[in-house]
Structure 1
Amino acid sequence: MASFAMAAASVTSYRWNRPPGSYHEQRNIVSTKRGKIILVERVRVTLDRVVGRGETDWGNRRNGRQGMMRATRGGITRLTVLMLTVSLVAAACANDVSGMGKEEDATLILDFVPGGIHAGIYSALAEGYFDDANINIDIEPPTSSADTLRLVLAGKATIGIAPIADVASLRARGEDIQIFMAMEQVPLVALISTAAIGVTDPSQLTGATIGVTGVPSDEAIARVILSNSGVDLDTVEFVTIGFDAVGNLIGQTVDAAIGFWSSEAVALELQGETPYVFRPDEYGAPPYPELVFFAGRDTIENRPEILRAFARAVARGYRFALNNQDTAIADLAANADGIDVEFATAEFNNVKPYYLGPNGKYGEISDEAIADYLTWADEVGVLESMPENLVTTEFLP
């Protein structure tokens, strides 16, 4: 849905791309499986400093128990406290990571070229959370808007990100895919205009020309917003503009256009425009996640452990990104080509209030919320028919 003209898509795999010896690599390597040996060595060095070589013979391992018995009472106390602390930290990390027993390969196809909204995924990559979960992940952008769905359906990708309407439509047609986690908690698609065009409220769009991408659900959403604003739809002309809402709004070839407020509105602002955004959840739609993570039946039935580990790693990535935004954007820029840091930061900030669900957790999705969305989407024509068993919640972190 977001403008494919905003960045060039290339199908390449993105892996950890951090300069060796950087601060983050040194800090986070202890949280990877391979780094556990390094953690042990660091603890030994710390113990050596706490107890003191003059009080014990810690450095002479051949003396073993005899050397330890020469430690002072204070040294033993400090040693016990430190070992207890290390044990508690290790236990906490184990509970948070919950990885698989052996390393598994997985491919994630994004909904679009990498951007600020994907920062948490790239933090999970760069900060080692996929490593913790024993997932060897490839992150790929799609070559077209339908690419994600096609690749997952064909078994060429493990997991995909796509608009909920697209996944629901395919499910309703009998395709065996299911949503297992939300990317954010609100609709991102919206009807957008600008101050330069002179439209500050959708009620002003009687007799207007509205740009839509060509995706059927887009026009349906525009009609909902317009009709709930008192606009006579018979006076409105819908024209297909593809994914160039920004160019058409700046050129004023349309009076308003369907686009993602998380990205198109940012692009308009960075080009000096004042965008006005009309979201469907402000005009009759229930709140629903625009973008969702989904997988095919084969993965759900035969590789459930990888979906569970993936969901936990991504949730950790977004928690990290929300608390360490600058580092998260740097992780994104280091691991994905063509990132405009200013644009990515603004996009991340736009969606920042909506990443966590009602219970304060990333990825939350409920059967009730999806049922409300499906009822609305069916009534207003966003969906042609109602899908069954669209969502599974068994893999939520």
Structure 2
Amino acid sequence: MPRTSLRRIVSTTLAGISAFALTVSLAACGGSSSSASKNSADGKLKNVSFMLSWAPDTNHIGAYVAIAKGYFKQEGLNVSILATSQAGAEQAVSTGAANFALSNTFNVGVANIKDAKLKLIAQIQQRTSAIWCSLASNTSIKSPKDFDGKTFATFGANESDAVIKRMVQTDGGKGKFDKVTVGTSTFQTLNSKKADFGGFYSTWEGVQAQMYGPKLNCWSEPDYGVPGNADEIGVITSENEISHDKKTVKGFTRAIQKGYTYAYMHPDEAASILVKQAKDANLNLAFVKRSMKVITEGNYWGSREDVKSGKFTIGTPDPESAQKYFDFVADAGAYTDANNQKVTKAPVATEQIDDEFLSQGSRIMKDIQ
């Protein structure tokens, strides 16, 4: 499944609002989030857009920090943050409805099978954050092998089935389970006992479970035989954008690198910026700070010490890990083309990535100090 589908739906549980209210609040956020909007009338700033892939959260935080700190403005850009479209951020960028968006290497590969002509230009997340969980109160599940014969709260895509099957079999089970399609919230589906387990993210829903409940028992897919990194979350644009305006792509990439790097070095301040900038999302500051604490302490965006020293550059892609996951999904027969016909050949990771616009980490650190 495209990872944005999982994130887009489960994130709504945190705000406790309907899908309609979420869409309205995000549109309001997108309309007011650019600190440089008043300056664009003089013609000195170029208007570009960055589309969210789900509700505002800490995965998007670098864009909000870059706006608040004026990093985009320094590059001559007036950036508007857009609510995700019903068709998804990948489709919006492919058609030119948005210049840039948050996505991940896997989603780019899946979209490019359907000729979307997208590129990942900066990979922010370097570790898998997907976790597969049951309620702690469900004592019949003690490890992934106990998913056998249970009901999976799914979003309907074959990729997640392949992940669960591999985890169960690695743990000594058969990999046979029932499914129910999640309509609104995985938490709600588990609480209602319509399903026994489902997918979450350690850096967001995992934090929610720790702070507010319900308590979960969770397992990470790399620990149970799933190869590579399924969650190479980062910034995407279109091949058309690259071919027609390299200067803008370069400036946007540099600015958002600064935003994410600053957030990694100053997580509490960045949390406050996100809450203030995305005010219509009604994010809780303590919750966002805890999410950033999980991200920084877990080195989800790379070794924090190496980022601080300039040894590692936030935005660096990892095609080797991406390829392992692409190949795994291909082996499971989970790819289809635009005509819903099965595709057996895995996307080539290096063909989904364009890292020519990245600035060096040492330079980024110098610029944000």
Asked if 1:315 corresponds to 2:257, the answer is: yes
Residue 167 (structure 1) aligned to one of 87, 93, 108? 108
Superposition misfits of 4+ residues, deviation over 4 angstroms: 14-18
Name 2:55's counterpart in structure 1. 113
Name 1:9's counterpart in structure 2. 23
Asked if 1:339 corresponds to 2:299, the answer is: no
User: After superposition, where does 1:1-397 map in structure 2 within 5 Å?
Assistant: 1-2=6-7, 3-6=10-13, 7=15, 8-10=22-24, 11-12=27-28, 13=30, 15=32, 103-144=45-86, 146-198=87-139, 199-234=141-176, 236-284=177-225, 285-336=227-278, 337=280, 338-352=282-296, 353-356=299-302, 360-384=312-336, 385=343, 386-388=346-348, 389-397=351-359
Offset at residue 243 of structure 1 (A): 4.7
Amino acid at match of 1:345: K
For 1:349 and 1:243, locate their aligned partners in 2 and report how far apart those are by CA, in whole Å.
27
Indicate conservation of the 8 Å contact 2:133/2:199, yes or no.
yes
Amino acid at match of 2:114: R
> 1:253–1:16: structure 2 CA closer, same or farther, 3 Å change rule?
closer
Deviations 1:281-303 (A, max 9, x none): 22222235432321112101111
Secondary structure of the 2:352 match is coil
Amino acid at match of 1:348: M
> Could you state the TM-score of these two structures normalised by the residue count of structure 2?
0.78
For 2:96 and 2:116, locate their aligned partners in 1 and report how far apart those are by CA, in whole Å.
12
For 2:187 and 2:263, locate their aligned partners in 1 and report how far apart those are by CA, in whole Å.
28
Deviations 1:17-57 (A, max 9, x none): 88xxxxxxxxxx9xxxx9xxxxxxxxxxxxxxxxxxxxxxx
Which region of structure 1 is more displaced relative to structure 2, 281-290 or 309-318?
281-290
> 1:306–1:344: structure 2 CA closer, same or farther, 3 Å change rule?
same
For 1:281 and 1:202, locate their aligned partners in 2 and report how far apart those are by CA, in whole Å.
12
For 1:360 and 1:206, locate their aligned partners in 2 and report how far apart those are by CA, in whole Å.
41
For 2:201 and 2:53, locate their aligned partners in 1 and report how far apart those are by CA, in whole Å.
12
Offset at residue 266 of structure 1 (A): 2.0
Q: How much identity, in percent, do the aligned residues show?
A: 20
Indicate conservation of the 8 Å contact 2:180/2:194, yes or no.
no
Indicate conservation of the 8 Å contact 1:189/1:290, yes or no.
no
Offset at residue 112 of structure 1 (A): 0.8
> 1:113–1:277: structure 2 CA closer, same or farther, 3 Å change rule?
same
For 2:201 and 2:332, locate their aligned partners in 1 and report how far apart those are by CA, in whole Å.
20
> Could you state the TM-score of these two structures normalised by the residue count of structure 1?
0.72
> 1:17–1:118: structure 2 CA closer, same or farther, 3 Å change rule?
same
Indicate conservation of the 8 Å contact 2:125/2:231, yes or no.
yes
What stretches of structure 1 of length at least 5 have no aligned partner?
A: 19-28, 35-100
Secondary structure of the 1:9 match is helix
Amino acid at match of 1:250: N
Deviations 1:147-198 (A, max 9, x none): 2122112111001112433321111222211111113112232311221112
Indicate conservation of the 8 Å contact 2:302/2:314, yes or no.
yes
Indicate conservation of the 8 Å contact 1:191/1:258, yes or no.
yes
Offset at residue 331 of structure 1 (A): 0.8
Indicate conservation of the 8 Å contact 2:106/2:230, yes or no.
no
Indicate conservation of the 8 Å contact 1:116/1:343, yes or no.
no
Offset at residue 5 of structure 1 (A): 2.9
For 1:391 and 1:196, locate their aligned partners in 2 and report how far apart those are by CA, in whole Å.
43
What stretches of structure 2 of length at least 5 have no aligned partner?
A: 1-5, 16-21, 337-342, 360-369
Q: RMSD between aligned alpha carbons?
A: 2.5
